[in-house]
Amino acid sequence: MALNIKVGDTLPEGKFSYVPFTPELEDHTACGVPTQLSTNEWKGKKVVLFSVPGAFTPTCHANHLPPYIQKYDEFKAKGVDVIAVVAANDPFVMSGWGRFQGLKDKILALSDADAAWSASLGLSLDLTARGLGVRTNRYAMIIDDLVVKYVEVEAAPGVTVSGADAVLAKL
């Protein structure tokens, strides 16, 4: 699939479901209520958006998300208003993963259902042969006032160009 987004492009609107963090979610029997977020809400903001193929999957869970949490203050010091991770998992799974990882309200855990938005940008990944269906690819973007300033997709398994260190270096 060809990449349909590049540096300098205006980010096409995406709508994601997510469960906003509330103190009630500290009780792990609570599920929260999904709400919608439009990327248009990021107008005037600097956003780091990174994508993983799946919550709780080995590389995503152990190597991709944790450095973003650990370096949260460094992102904020560089003027980042919003950090968001996106995956094709449903909003309840993303919320559960976020709570397990301790995201609270620092990093938004967004659901790109069926990888629809990512696919429209050429950023989906077909893992049907591995029993996982169509997923979001492993990628990262820096978006400033809805303009793409950085977009990179992992060419091979692992975390390099979409990782926290690579993105921090581009801010």
pLDDT digits (tens, 9 = 90+) for 114-134: 899 999 998 987 776 776 667
The pLDDT of residue 112 is above 80? yes
Q: What is the pLDDT of residue 29?
A: 85
Q: What is the mean pLDDT of the chain?
A: 91
The CATH number of domain 15-170, selected from 2.40.50.1070, 3.40.30.10, 3.40.50.10420, 1.20.1440.230: 3.40.30.10
When pLDDT is averaged across residues 94-103 and rounded to a whole number, the result is 92
pLDDT digits (tens, 9 = 90+) for 51-94: 998 887 767 777 789 999 999 999 999 999 999 999 999 999 99
Q: How far apart are CA 58 and CA 158, in angstroms?
A: 10
The pair of three-digit structure tokens given for residue 75, joined into one six-digit string: 């992102």
Q: Is the alpha carbon torsion for 14, 101, 106, 170 positive or negative?
A: negative
Q: What is the pLDDT of residue 127?
A: 73
The pLDDT of residue 39 is above 60? yes
Residue of 142, 168, 118, 165 lying closest to 9 (CA atoms): 142
pLDDT tier at 11, thresholds 50, 70, 90: very high
For residue 116, the tally of other CB atoms under 10 A from its CB is: 15
Strands (DSSP E) contained in the chain are: 15-18, 35-38, 46-51, 82-87, 107-111, 124-126, 134-136, 139-144, 147-153
Q: Active-site residue 31, yes or no?
A: no
- From the list 60, 65, 87, 123, the catalytic residue is 60
Q: Kindly list the domain boundaries of the chain, sorted by start residue.
A: 15-170
When pLDDT is averaged across residues 152-167 and rounded to a whole number, the result is 93
